[in-house]
Amino acid sequence: MIKTREIQVSDSSSVAPKPPIIPWKGVNMLRNHSFLKAIDEVIQLVANKDAFRIGIIGGTHSGKTTLAKAISHTLHVRIKEKLNIPFATKFFEKEDLINFGDTLKSLEPANYILTFDDVSFLSAHANKKQLDALKSTLTTIRHIPGGEDVRIISIFPYHYSKALDPYLRQSEFKFVTTISGKTEQNNMIAEFGENNASKIGLFQHMASSAPKTGIFRFRLNYPLLINNAKEYFFTYKYRNPFIPCLFWNDADLRFIVAPTRQFIDPVCSICEIGENKDFKSEVNIDQLITELNNLGPRIVQSALKALLAQQGINTYSKSITGAMKKIDKVLLTKKISLRDLALKCGLEETGQTHISKVVLSVLEENGSQT
């Protein structure tokens, strides 16, 4: 017989405000459990820090990799929307992390969200020399070989709070998907504070019981009107589409619910390319090119080169690449504004452009979403 335990959401005030129920793509949730709000807190740091890490702590099959991909996708989309800074995404396996110096050398200069597969193996499979090299590389990670400083967000999933070297497990944000055992519970309390002990204990039970019961629910201190009846619980269906998580922003620990990347956006070519080296197009490329070329073949080619560069893929000629390196060197050695230089060369910033309706129609016909 499966026993369930009520999860109570406490509030420091004497009269708790009613958390509104909001829909996300047709699925109801409590606003204060917002995954997007947590991601937006991460984005605030992007504007002020060039490189930082996100840790994801949880047991095997607890959804760490799925959560990492959801975080990576939401970050690159919302950073572009809010800050107009393009990010490429990359998903790396174990070997890529052990030989991280070589991994970085393989990347073209671009802003990256680097997601690594479960890195708990490092304590058992990486020797001291490899660990020291990894820590040294992470210290200067934003200096991609090629002389160009870029922005780097690294996502490290691992099994338990002390699975990594103390330096490697340092991160500005942490997501927790499960807490395994009393020792790990005590480790979490030590890391997140005694004031969060009750919340950590409640989450530990929730995360362990949800896979068995198929639901997880929050007991409220006040009734919500659901289906014309007063309810003192708000219930989620486990993995349909959310899992419960704890989110730590280096100051506060709170409950959130996280979906899959596919729930957020069923199709994302940027993520697919970053995750799958053998990714194949599902649209009719010839038809799409025909429609795009109505904008002008040279314009389309220039646009594609710029977009590829944002994703860390250099298709510019050797002469242009050489000129870019020369300009980079000038900017590093002389006090000059890149904007002023561009204006003097006849380049002016233009307003936001919109993809043509005819291009959108081709994408829609082929089952893609923008």
**In which band, very low, low, confident or very high, does the pLDDT at 101 lie, cut at 50, 70 and 90?**
confident
d(CA 74, CA 78): 6
Assess whether pLDDT exceeds 60 at residue 226.
Answer: yes
Q: What is the mean pLDDT of residues 36-44?
A: 96
Kindly write down the DSSP assignment for every residue of 57-98, as one continuous string. E--TTSSHHHHHHHHHHHHHHHHHHHH----EEEEE-HHHHH
pLDDT tens figures, 264-290 = 998 888 888 777 666 666 667 777 777
How confident is residue 19, by pLDDT bands cut at 50, 70 and 90? low
Which secondary structure element, helix H or strand E, spans residue 212, and what is its range? Answer: helix 197-213
Average pLDDT, the chain: 79
Residue ranges per structural domain of the chain: 21-269, 283-365
Share of the chain above pLDDT 70, in %: 74
Closest CA to 34 of 48, 19, 49: 19
Q: Contact 21/234 with Cβ under 8 angstroms?
A: yes
Q: What is the pLDDT of residues 317-370, one digit of tens each?
A: 777 777 776 776 676 566 777 677 777 777 776 654 444 444 444 444 443 333
Q: What CATH number should be reported for the domain whose range is 21-269?
A: 3.40.50.300
**Pairing between β-strand 88-92 and β-strand 112-116 as defined by DSSP bridges:** parallel
Contact assessment for residue 224 and residue 21, using Cβ atoms and an 8 Å cutoff:
yes
Q: 1 or 245, which is more confident?
A: 245
Is 70 exceeded by the pLDDT of residue 28? yes
**Amino acid identity of 369?**
Q
pTM of the model: 0.74
